[in-house]
Structure 1
Amino acid sequence: MDFCEGFQHKNYAPIPDEERIPVKTSEDIDREIQRQFDALYAKYDNIGILLSGGMDSANLAAYLKPGSHAYTFTSASGEFDADIERAKKYCAKWKLQHHFIEVTMDDFKQFTPIVMRYKYAPVHSIEAQIYKAAIQAKADGVQLMIVGESSDLIFGGMDKLISPEWTFDGFAKRYTFLDPKLVLTNPVDQSELYERYRTGETTIDFMRFMDEVFAVESSGSYLNAFGAAWMPYYDPYASLVMSEPLDMHRVRNGEPKYLVRGLYAMKYPELEIPFKIPMPRPVDAIFKDWEGPKRAEFRKDIPMEQLTGNQKWQLWCAEQFLNMLEK
């Protein structure tokens, strides 16, 4: 969606399936990621990584040279301490220089306008903090940043979204993060997006929706944040594709991303395999006491106490974007 004449919203273009490398086993993934890192190190001397406590970035950390820079997000609230402790173990094992990027409301205020202007659209809450990490990495001499963002989409993560046998209405309600009717004075129906994927009276091709909508939006957040910082980045998972259909029985029975889990077991046999750990974004703590938007486009009776931190972020970000359009 272009929100203003003369400014085009930048979209992420996934690698076509026919250009991806098929993998069948965890060993295949290991071999192909190693090949990619060998090629990267032929071009770059200083490669860094966004490192959480989860599997995806932990696996990629294993291919970095000792002394490489790793960046982990933190919050003064302490809500991500367990995630940080796991990241510390990864850095200790591979002898990486570990940097902590604390995310505050001041960071949102400072960096959100930058990433919004680069995209010329409202942004995801991770974009301001990725931008902060990227400019720190540039100051540390990093030439290329590694991320593991595509793993969920390619190898059967996001199990809470793809495991249920969704009805059309159920999926549309689940994926609508904040109902426009709840917060806007003149809400506009958004069902047209979901209608593109309707397959019957009550059914929806939600897997195609995830590939064509979710994947572009999610990866676009990284594209925009790193782009605004003029920092190159690379996702080794994005070049891979499963050579066999995803085993939904395993995903639905507590084994999401089973091939990536196998790779983690190879790299960290001494550690318990973690379940999905999303990139920390401290919106719950930061927006806990925020009273809500003031512009006329927003309702005056929004039940702020019922909204999650991510929903409050969306409201705050939307108001900042509208303010920006008027300048």
Structure 2
Amino acid sequence: MTTDKEFCMCSYLMYRYVYDNNITFREGDVCATADIGFKRHPVKNRDDLYYALRDSVAKAYADGGAVLALSGGMDSAILARLVPEGTKAYTFRCIVPGVQVTDESGMARKWADYNHLKHEVIDIYWEDIVKAADKCMRHKKSPIHSIEAQISIAAEKAVQEGYSKFVLGENADIIYGGMDGLLSKDWLYAEFIDRYSYVMPYKVLRNPSMPLDPYKEFEKDGHIDGHDFINKYFRQEALGTYTNACSTAGIKFVGPYSLTYLDAPIDYARIRAGDTKYIIRELFKELYPEEDIPSKIPMPRPVNEWFAGWDGPKRKEFVPHCTESLNGDQRWMVWCLERYLNILEGEDFHDKGSD
């Protein structure tokens, strides 16, 4: 195990996690990463996907100890068709007082009512996010994704209500062609680095480096295949987010989509023509023949509003005013990284995120 704080900082900023679990922020710690080597079911078409999801859901609910995370999108709507009637379903709703932000609870309620589920909306405030983020970072031994805290908040509630498994629709976008921006063209090597990297370390750190090994692994003749890349590094980052959020709360993460893989070449022509996640779309229309495909909305988190008044990091590792040109998601990452460095050093600090 190698201790290299600078590498870990740069890896987190670029990939949203420390991709090499042999390198750590602090001696004696291990940055938790997800094992993605587990057995998965091959999927060629909507029928394959249906049977794989059905079997995973049935196993999760065999003892009655599972709860469902229900968004307004088609991935979790499909899972809602497969769980037993009367299943408890949670929808996350972030609240910013006095500001209208994205709210999926209405559409989620529609899927819950359609399938006779017990629906509950969990309202989440910034103060809740800060406390949960600290718990998740201490458990993971690294900074976290902005959705990790709210998943953990819901997972804690599930534990309090006696559930042992949390079923979520994660990995559907990654595996089945939902990341249309990353699949929108044949990427040159340098173009893909610029497009995928969340925060370039040189924009915020005084002593940056550029850990490029993940990109080099997938470079072929000066190009990177977006689907191949995200099915390793994005998939590992995403699974690490969900497994850590759940394990921090003391509940098992169950991802039925993550237990499958696309056993056929990705159809870039269909995706680039607007038919994203075409296998999942076909399955949705089979299960909800009278319904329109719902709009895709990433898990809502009002980071732009939360960080609108933040004046940036103060630690010596960061360049002053470095966050002024960053968007809300990027500001979260810098805020989270600084907060984790403070946690490592045991410093007293107060919340500056939305002051």
Identify whether the pair has TM-score above 0.5, normalized to the shorter chain: yes
Amino acid of the structure 2 residue aligned with 1:30? Y
Q: TM-score, normalised by structure 2?
A: 0.86
1:13 equivalenced with 2:32 (yes/no): no
**Which of 94, 106, 129 pairs up with 1:108?**
129
Contact 1:74 1:100 in 2 (8 A): yes
1:80 equivalenced with 2:102 (yes/no): yes
1:138 equivalenced with 2:159 (yes/no): yes
**Which of 83, 86, 93 pairs up with 2:114?**
93
CA distance in 1, matches of 2:40, 2:320: 49
Contact 1:159 1:256 in 2 (8 A): yes
Aligned to 1:295: 315
* Per-residue deviation, residues 234-271 of structure 1 (Å, max 9, x unmatched): 11112222332221111111011111011111222232
Amino acid of the structure 1 residue aligned with 2:218? Y
Amino acid of the structure 2 residue aligned with 1:7? D
1:40 equivalenced with 2:60 (yes/no): yes
Contact 1:178 1:311 in 2 (8 A): yes
Contact 2:243 2:252 in 1 (8 A): no
Contact 2:307 2:328 in 1 (8 A): yes
Q: Secondary structure at the match of 2:122?
A: strand
Q: Which moved more, 1:153-162 or 1:120-129?
A: 153-162
Shift of residue 303 of structure 1?
4.8
**Which of 334, 345, 354 pairs up with 1:326?**
345
Shift of residue 321 of structure 1?
0.6
CA distance in 1, matches of 2:144, 2:178: 23
**Greater RCO (CA < 8 Å, at least 6 residues apart):** 1
Q: Secondary structure at the match of 2:187?
A: coil
1:59 equivalenced with 2:81 (yes/no): no
Q: Secondary structure at the match of 1:28?
A: helix
Q: Hey, which of these two has a bigger chunk of helix by percent?
A: 1
Q: Secondary structure at the match of 1:102?
A: strand
CA distance in 1, matches of 2:309, 2:291: 38
Counterparts of 1:176-187 in structure 2, within 5 Å, are 176-187=197-208
Shift of residue 15 of structure 1?
4.4
**Which of 141, 144, 147 pairs up with 1:126?**
147
Q: Secondary structure at the match of 1:301?
A: coil
Instruction: Name the CA shift for 1:234/1:163 in 2 (closer, same or farther; >3 Å).
Output: same
Amino acid of the structure 2 residue aligned with 1:80? T
Q: TM-score, normalised by structure 1?
A: 0.93
Shift of residue 133 of structure 1?
0.4
Ranges in structure 1 where 5+ consecutive residues have no aligned partner: none
Query: How many aligned positions are there?
Result: 321
Q: Secondary structure at the match of 2:32?
A: coil
CA distance in 2, matches of 1:208, 1:269: 32
